[in-house]
A and B are shown apart, each in its own frame.
Chain A
Amino acid sequence: MANKFSKILVPVRGIAPDDRAVGLASLIARRNKAAVLAICVIEVQRALPLDAENAAQTEHAEQVLKRAEQVAKENGIKIETEVLQARAAGAALLNEAAERGVDLIIMGIPYREPLVGVPLGSTASYILNNARCEVWLCREAETAKAVEKGG
């Protein structure tokens, strides 16, 4: 029953539940001696070439990955980070997961008020439905969202 994970992918995009996902990945990686890869995908509109540079988005992605590195370091591990440019984040992440032999994807998702709509965004939904490896989705607690709203 116990799975040994060797490579964990954590998609990050600069939201609060990212920290939880990286924390969880670090915990599992420490015990399994697994490698953790955090990826931030910059989605490029179809009107632009795929390699079109957007300095603001690139800087944001780098900040997000820096924070992921800090969270992982605080949890006692070093992680690999990468920025990808793609048309759709979900497909890009799964391609990367397949290429790198990832056996676990851990993704943080925010709390949404009930009845506001489906609880998953398009990337999380795509990953959940199409991943060939195990996927963990960590939905933050309602209180975490309330604290965030409050300040």
Chain B
Amino acid sequence: MVQLHPLGIFLGLSFVLALGALFFWMFRVPPVLPLPVVKARHSLKAIRKILVPVGETIPSQRAVELACRLGHDQKAELVLVHVITVPFTLSLDTALPVKEKEAHQALELANLIANQYGLHTHTRILRDRHAANGVLRVAQEEEVDAIVLGVGIKRRVPGSDWGQTTAEIVSRAMCEVIVDKVPIEAQPFAA
């Protein structure tokens, strides 16, 4: 004679239900999605190294912020670069203490922003005749997955949508480029 206890029935049913739920979860057919849709999701996670050209401007600080948001989930590495542009009339290794001080200050501030997100940063100061060349060279050397640029409204090249440096980076970079155009209200010193 089999005796059934309510607790035993409850445990048995719970076990069967749990097993059923497990099998359902294991063997359910996921919804069919187009390949590009799946790729779009995974490509965001694939951004592991982000380059941000840094200056002492509000747009560039916002670009650091944006890069941090992009890289936060996958703990991406930020490469913060400041390019000291040296005029052709001077040799590339000429001492430029004021510009060097500005570069260090800009990178320090960018580092502080990145630290709030707990991201690993790597800073570089380099010299070049053109800022865009310097940024693109670092992008290639460091094999970054994306460049994040902050642009303001000033110094737009006539006939172009933005400044010379941004235009060149957007045109010539092989990796993904994300441009953050800051609204006028966010630039207190905008003309």
A27 located at the interface, meaning its Cβ lies under 8 Å from any Cβ of chain B in the complex: yes
Interface pair A125/B161, CB less than 8 Å apart: yes
Interface pair A134/B167, CB less than 8 Å apart: no
A20 located at the interface, meaning its Cβ lies under 8 Å from any Cβ of chain B in the complex: yes
Interface pair B180/A134, CB less than 8 Å apart: yes
Tell me the B141-186 residues at the A interface (CB within 8 Å): 145-146, 160-162, 167, 170-186
Closest to B44 in A: A23
A60 located at the interface, meaning its Cβ lies under 8 Å from any Cβ of chain B in the complex: no
Please give the residue numbers on chain B whose beta carbons come within 8 Å of chain A beta carbons, in ascending order.
33-34, 36-41, 43-44, 61-62, 65-66, 69-70, 73, 113, 145-146, 160-162, 167, 170-186
Interface residue tally on A, bucketed by range: 35 or more
Interface pair B171/A23, CB less than 8 Å apart: no
How near does chain B come to A68, taking the closest CB pair, in angstroms? Answer: 10
Please give the residue numbers on chain A whose beta carbons come within 8 Å of chain B beta carbons, in ascending order.
1-3, 16, 19-20, 22-24, 27-28, 31, 67, 70-71, 74-75, 112, 114-115, 118-120, 124-125, 128-129, 131-144
Excluding A28-B69, A67-B36, A71-B37, 7 further A-B contacts by CB distance (< 8 Å) are: A1-B113, A3-B62, A3-B65, A19-B37, A134-B181, A134-B186, A141-B146
B161 touches which of A19, A22, A128, A140 (Cβ 8 Å) = A128
Chain B residues with CB under 8 Å of A75's CB are: 40-41, 44
How near does chain B come to A121, taking the closest CB pair, in angstroms? Answer: 10
Interface pair A67/B161, CB less than 8 Å apart: no
Interface pair A74/B38, CB less than 8 Å apart: yes
Chain B residues with CB under 8 Å of A3's CB are: 62, 65
- In the bound assembly, the distance between CA atoms of A118 and B36 in angstroms comes to 27
Chain B residues with CB under 8 Å of A124's CB are: 161
B162 touches which of A128, A134, A144 (Cβ 8 Å) = A128
- Could you write out 10 A-B pairs with CB less than 8 Å apart? A27-B73, A67-B37, A74-B37, A134-B180, A134-B186, A135-B183, A136-B181, A139-B177, A142-B175, A143-B174
- In the bound assembly, the distance between CA atoms of A37 and B181 in angstroms comes to 19
Chain A residues with CB under 8 Å of B172's CB are: 114
How near does chain A come to B59, taking the closest CB pair, in angstroms? Answer: 10
